[in-house]
Structure 1
């Protein structure tokens, strides 16, 4: 039996599916070249806009492979040329976590420090400059980091003491420091402690406060024009606010798309969603924006979830990937380009996977 491979589907105009082609789109899953499922530890997807996107894969040897658009050096291979198949990020040999933003990438190293590369116009690389770099550079002042996340033009890091640090673009308050000033080096998010997980959207962020499960709450900050903070308003927040929801049994996971948010509820592992819903990316059968969390019907036992520009992918208890929302580039992977406001099975051949990724500003998906 052939070994399982990393899969991708959706927009491929920049080679972001990594299958060795520049095919316009793929409406069903294709294979990312050269990477077997057994060697891939983590995956991440970045990009902004229909034609943009890049993918990252962390391997068992702690190196990182990258592919897709590379105009700002977000592939980290020392060039600014796009690639339609994976290649190794240079000078990176001890990665334990990865994240991908609009046009930049992050890697958490085994020693608790963070490396970044790609676009740096807004300081999202955290190295104190505004210059792009096509090779990994160290984020200043970060130690004892346990998790990272990347938004469109900003970055987040979670320290082992439960505090969250942010840097980059801040026009909508996404750095959570009470200002709208960009930062080229990390600064702490105001008023957050005991955080166990973080997620970054295009211009907003989520933090899970407390251990996943009973008693955990969700805090959010940044851009809120479509209700993605879940605080029953559409007011941007420059410091974290509590998402207004009754979490039966607590929350185990959080995820953010471009302008929408998701949480997995512990009691029955159902999925909640809120925020922008233009293409049905909340999965509730409507295209109505939601300023408070609503339940995605028909999904139980949800184990993983990821959000793209206007679509969502989730792994259910039946080990099947479901997708919903915008599908003009085939990012739902159901063989069509028809949008869906309720979950549809992506492809039965993808059963048994345990990793999902979608770019907060892009139109493709990864599964392994």
Structure 2
């Protein structure tokens, strides 16, 4: 079900009219995961296929075109997907048996390297992110224009894409068109990407964050950006869920 703004067809109900009540997305059954980008939507079905609808100016629907769609269209060439993530205008999918890790595929906007294929060329169908890690990927996430993957080897985090505010956590503000590791972080349980910041939950239930901090979204008592992980000031206990706003500048933990 979907509701709200629909000027690009992002509600998937066959119209471009806004709605203030939930409406069914057309033609999808056995959906096991959903994700929302800036003006597009994404769904993973039980059979491992991925479907997308809404704005497609950068190829973020993955159907080989840049034509907007107001009903779901199948992402080309993806089978056996087990996880999905949506950025502002790009997407990621983890392809492989659920729970056992796999290959990261990406498509859509790539102006700052957020697809991780060592280029800055937009892709209208999925391409494989360069494997620069040891072990398999177990978790993926997407920020506004950056991407994140946790690997099975020590639960390390790798990041790529836009880095203007240090959201990649590698100690620089250089964009990265291929994955780089975040130094010093291991034991990552969860990761979330905001518009220009990143937060992670570690195995000891502590939260680290980095990137843009103009509104205090890093939670460390300052409004200074950081290109390396910082610890939230308030003691957070029993955390098992985290989230970061894709369109705004705030973070959440539960």
- Shorter-chain TM-score bucket reads over 0.9
Alignment of 1:139 onto 2:139: no
1:228 is the counterpart of 2:119? no
Offset at residue 170 of structure 1 (A):
0.1
Q: Report the Cα distance in structure 2 between the residues aligned to 1:291 and 1:285, rounded to whole angstroms.
A: 16
Task: Identify the residue that residue 243 of structure 1 maps to in structure 2.
Answer: 129
After TM superposition, the structure 1 = structure 2 runs for residues 147-226 of structure 1, keeping only pairs within 5 Å, are 147-211=33-97, 216-226=102-112
User: For 2:191 and 2:169, how far apart are their aligned partners in 1?
Assistant: 12
Deviations 1:184-221 (A, max 9, x none): 00010000000000000000000000025666100000
CA displacement, residues 65-119 of structure 1 (integer Å, 9 cap, x when unaligned):
xxxxxxxxxxxxxxxxxxxxxxxxxxxxxxxxxxxxxxxxxxxxxxxxxx00111
1:297 to 149, 169, 183: 183
Contact 1:274 1:294 in 2 (8 A): yes
Which residue is 1:38 aligned to? none
Give runs of aligned pairs for residues 280-359 of structure 1, distance below 5 A.
280-359=166-245
The Cα RMSD (Å) is 1.1
Secondary structure of the 1:272 match is strand
Q: Which runs of 4+ in 1 moved over 4 A?
A: 212-215
CA distance in 2, matches of 1:214, 1:246: 18
Which whole-Å deviations, capped at 9, do the CAs of 1:110-147 have from their partners, x for residues lacking one?
A: xxxxx001110100000011111111111011101110
Greater CA deviation, 294-303 or 177-186?
A: 294-303
* Residue 360 of structure 1, CA deviation: 1.6
CA contact (8 A) 1:195 1:208 kept: yes
TM-score, structure 2 as length reference: 0.98
CA-CA distance at 1:246 after TM superposition = 3.4
Alignment check: 8 A CA contact 1:212 1:251 kept: no
1:256 to 2:142 alignment: yes
* Number of residue-to-residue matches in the alignment: 254
**In terms of Rg, which structure is larger?**
1
* RCO higher in structure (CA 8 A, sep ≥6): 1
How far apart are residue 348 of structure 1 and its match? 4.4
How many Å separate the matches in 2 of 1:350 and 1:167? Answer: 37
- Identify the residue that residue 360 of structure 1 maps to in structure 2: 246
Q: Is the 8 A contact 1:212 1:253 kept in 2?
A: no
Partner in structure 2 of residue 117 of structure 1: 3
Length-normalised TM-score, structure 1: 0.68
Q: Equivalents in 1 of 2:101, 2:150: separation in Å?
A: 14
Q: 2:94, 2:101 within 8 Å by CA — same for their partners in 1?
A: no
Matched residues in 2 for 1:245 and 1:214: separation? 16
What is the rounded CA distance, in whole Å, between the counterparts of 2:234 and 2:213 in structure 1?
A: 18
In 1, the alpha carbon distance for the partners of 2:113 and 2:78 equals 21
Helix, strand or coil for the counterpart of 2:235? helix
Aligned 1:22-101 pairs, distance under 5 A: none
